[in-house]
Structure 1
Amino acid sequence: MSVVVEPYNPAWPSYFSKIKSTIQSYLSGIPILSIEHIGSTSVPHLAAKPIIDIDIIVTRENIQPAVDALVQKGKFTYLGELGIADRHALQDPDQVPKRNVYVCVEGAFQVRNHLGVRDTLKQNAELRDEYGALKLQLAEQGTNIVDYIEAKSGVVMKILKAAGLLSGEELEEIEMANKKGERFGATKTERLLLREFVLADVEGYFELESSDEVVRYQTFGPRTREEARDDVSMIVMNSSAVPRSHVELAVEHEGRFIGRVGAVVKRESGRGEKVDAPHADLWFSFIPEYQGKGFATEAVRAFVSLLGGPLELEIECDPRNTGSWKLAKRLGFERISLTEKVYQCKGEWVDSLVYRKWV
């Protein structure tokens, strides 16, 4: 999924004003210091991703009341800090126009970051044009969001230094946050694209996991749209963890979300002791019309390569799920065990078939 950057749209400030008014109605009775339009859409004449970024600034003691009000009254989804202290992300169910909403602690360096970039670019046309040209160039090259954030970090740091609102230590922290960390850029195979999940994947995920056929051998039933939203939100939150224990990527074919591949990586024994090599439990699921065409094998092979090693990989499945164990065999996994009646799934006892491989 490539980043989309558009020339400045004069309607963006009015979009913000309408969203702000709605947010204020949800936060009635809660002391709010300000609601700020931040990000590139807040800067006249600056090219930007067409997403309205909003900071709701409150004192520390009002963070939780503000979050609770948005969740309860506005049906927002709370996403946590996503690796950035004192900036609490929420997803507004209304995404027309698209928006990012944050509840932020007054004076936090991330707030000073956002306001410093905005105000500096409003006053410095040279920096504004340099930043806009880079964003358009990266979008034209088809850059994915993870690489996009890292690629523009140099100019962002120049803007922040010009703003003069952050300490050297805070600048270093922002520079580190803009690096990939343990997130992956887009990975192309012969037919597929593997990439990090974004919140816009909710509908694709829902189409996938609401299928009876897809969840047939899972302990859970078909996902509702709300459950799909919660699942994708959790995947996005997990992607910012370091070290990363839950790794899950979306799979696209010709621009369409067709499946997912993932792993839980365990770096400690059951007694909390570090192990010589981590253990990874793998899973995958694909929309039925894309099953039986080698897409899962192609995706899992690429995913395993991304995980690196040394690593003990495991695929555990219901032996009736022939697609899973046949894929394991195709990728060189060794059958380890078949245990009868290990757990209950949809009212019946299910056997457990385990395949493993070292990489």
Structure 2
Amino acid sequence: MSVVVVSYDSAWPQHFQQIKAELEPHLQDVPYISIEHVGSTAVPGLAAKPIIDVDIIVKRENVGQAIDALVTKGKLFYLGELGIVDRHVFRVPSQSPRRNIYVCVDGVAQTRNHLGLRDTLRTNPELRDEYARVKLELASKGTNLTDYIEAKSTIVQKILRVSGMLTTEELEDLRKANLKGDRWGALKIDRLLLREFQVEDIDAYHALESTEANARYQSWGPRTMEESRELVWSNMQNSTVNPRTNWELVVESEERLVGRVGAALTRLDAADHAQPDVRFDLWFSFLPAVHGKGFATEAVRALVDVLTEKYNEKGVEFEIECDPRNTGSCKLAERLGFEKHSLTEKAWESKGECVDSLVYRKMVHKR
């Protein structure tokens, strides 16, 4: 999903006022300091992603009260900090106009970052226009959000140095936070693109996981919208964990979500130094409409290659566990060179049936 940057819209300040008016009744019993319009849409004349960023600034001791009020009274969905300490993220059921809602701790570096960036750009047209050029150039290249954040870090650092709102140490911490780290940018392969999940993927994820066909060999039934929402948020949260042990990625074809692939890392206590000390359990799910096109094979192979490159010290072991009745998954494992490792009859009960477990494994070395 590429970042979209548009020219400044004079309606954005009115959109913020509308959002602020919606939030205020929910916070009437919360001693908040202010509700601020931040981000690029808060800067007149600046090109921006058309999303209104809103900071609800509170003292640290009032964070819990603000979160509770937004969830219970406002019916907002709380996503946690998503890797940025003291910035609490919310999803709003109604996304018109589109918005990001944050509860931020007063005085901390992250809050001063938001305010310093906004205030400096409002008063420095030269920096504002330079920032706009960087953003528009990145968007014109079809840049993914994760890569976009990292790529504009240099100009953001420049603006914040001018603002004088952050110390040298805080600027360095911010620079590191904007690096991809274990998060994925956009991995383009033959016909597909693999990337991290975003809030905007909830509807497409639900379309993928709410079908009987995709739930047939799983221990769960078709996902509800609420379950889909929670799973997308969980994937977003997992992407910020350091060190990372769980990956689930969107698979796109022609800018449309057609599936997902995932891996969970286990550190092995291998006494034999010739044996791998890392294993990844793999999984995948694709829309029935794209079955037979080789998308799953292509995507899983790409995931295996990247994880092998990153974690290969003594070799990496990969595992795919299948319901033997799911012949499509078994064939995929075999196409990728996995070998049958074990077959356990009646391994567990699922949907009133005793289900066998067929495990495929493969040892992969760096090329």
Give the shorter-chain TM-score range.
Answer: over 0.9
Rounded Cα–Cα distance in structure 1 between residues aligned with 2:233 and 2:133 = 31
State the Cα distance separating 1:268 from its structure 2 match.
5.3
d(CA) in 1 for partners of 2:216 and 2:65?
Answer: 41
Could you report, residue by residue, the CA deviation over 1:31-68 in whole angstroms, capped at 9, with x for unpaired residues? 11101110000000000000111111111111111111
1:317 to 316, 319, 322: 322
Is 2:264–2:280's contact at 8 Å kept on the other side of the alignment? Answer: yes
Q: Which residue of 2 aligns with 1:351?
A: 356
**Alpha-carbon distance, 1:75 to partner:** 2.1
> Where do residues 99-110 of structure 1 align in structure 2 (5 Å cutoff)?
99-110=99-110
- Partner letter of residue 294 of structure 2? G
**Match of residue 253 from structure 1:** 253
1:297 corresponding residue in structure 2: 297
Q: CA deviation at 1:7?
A: 0.5
CA contact 1:12–1:41 (8 Å) conserved in 2:
yes
Distance 1:340 1:276 in 2: 27
In structure 2, C-alpha distance between the alignment counterparts of 1:52 and 1:338, rounded to whole Å: 53
What is the CA deviation profile of residues 157-201 of structure 1, one whole-angstrom value per residue up to 9, with x for unaligned ones?
A: 000100111111111110001111111111112211111111100
**Which amino acid is the alignment partner of residue 340 of structure 2?**
R
Alignment of 1:27 onto 2:27 = yes
Q: Which consecutive residues of structure 1, in runs of 5 or more, have no partner in the other structure?
A: none
Measure how far apart 1:334 and its partner are. 1.0
* Deviation of the 1:220 alpha carbon: 1.0
State the match for 1:85 in structure 2.
85
- How far the C-alpha of 1:73 sits from its partner, in A, is 2.0
Q: Which moved more, 1:68-77 or 1:348-357?
A: 68-77
Tell me how far apart the structure 2 counterparts of residues 28 and 222 of structure 1 sit (CA, whole Å).
40
Q: What secondary structure sits across from 1:74 in the alignment?
A: coil
Q: Which secondary structure state, in structure 1, belongs to the residue aligned with residue 212 of structure 2?
A: coil
Return 5+ residue gaps in structure 2 as ranges: none
In the alignment, is the contact (CA less than 8 A) between 1:146 and 1:184 conserved in 2?
yes
Give distance in 1, aligned partners of 2:29 and 2:109.
26
Contact 2:276-2:316 within 8 A present in 1 as well: no
| Contact map agreement 1:77 1:230 (CA 8 A) in 2 | no
* Counterpart check, 1:127 vs 2:132: no
Aligned to 1:326: 331
Asked if 1:243 corresponds to 2:243, the answer is: yes
The residue type paired with residue 207 of structure 2 is E
Q: Does 1:15 align with 2:15?
A: yes
Q: Pick one of 315, 337, 356 that aligns with 2:342.
A: 337
> Residue deviations 1:57-98, cap 9 Å, x none?
111111111111111222222111111111111111111121
Mapped partners of 1:72, 1:45: distance in 2: 37
Moved more, 78-87 or 121-130: 78-87
Q: Which residue of 1 aligns with 2:224?
A: 224
Q: How high is the sequence identity, in percent, across the aligned residues?
A: 59
Partner Cα distance (1:113, 1:286) in 2: 40
Q: Distance in 1 between matches of 2:156 and 2:221?
A: 45
Partners in 2 of 1:102 and 1:10 — Cα distance? 23
> Distance in 1 between the 2:91 and 2:144 partners?
21
Give CA-to-partner distance per residue, 1:208-246, whole Å, 9 cap, x none. 000010011111111111111111011011101111111
Helix, strand or coil for the counterpart of 1:62? helix
Question: Which amino acid counterpart does residue 327 of structure 1 have in structure 2?
Answer: L
Structure 2 counterparts to residues 193-232 of structure 1, below 5 A: 193-232=193-232
Output the CA distance in 2 between the equivalents of 1:276 and 1:282. 16
| Cα offsets for 1:285-314 (capped at 9, x unmatched) | 001111122111111111111212332110
> How large is the RMSD of aligned CA atoms in angstroms?
1.3
Q: Is the 8 A contact 1:57 1:106 kept in 2?
A: yes
CA distance in 1, matches of 2:112, 2:56: 13
Report deviation, 1:276.
5.2
State how far apart, in whole Å, the 2-side matches of 1:216 and 1:113 are.
48
Q: Does the CA-based 8 Å contact 2:269-2:277 persist in structure 1? A: no
Which segment is superposed worse, 110-119 or 214-223? 214-223
Greater Cα shift, 331-340 or 26-35: 26-35
Aligned residues: 355
* Contact 2:150-2:179 within 8 A present in 1 as well: yes
Q: Once the two structures are superposed, what CA deviation does each residue of 1:233-277 show, in whole Å capped at 9, x if it has no partner?
A: 11011101111111111011111111100011122559xxxx952
Q: Would you say the 8 A contact 2:7–2:46 is kept in 1?
A: yes
8 Å CA contact 2:276–2:317 kept in 1: the answer is no
Match of 2:191 in 1: 191
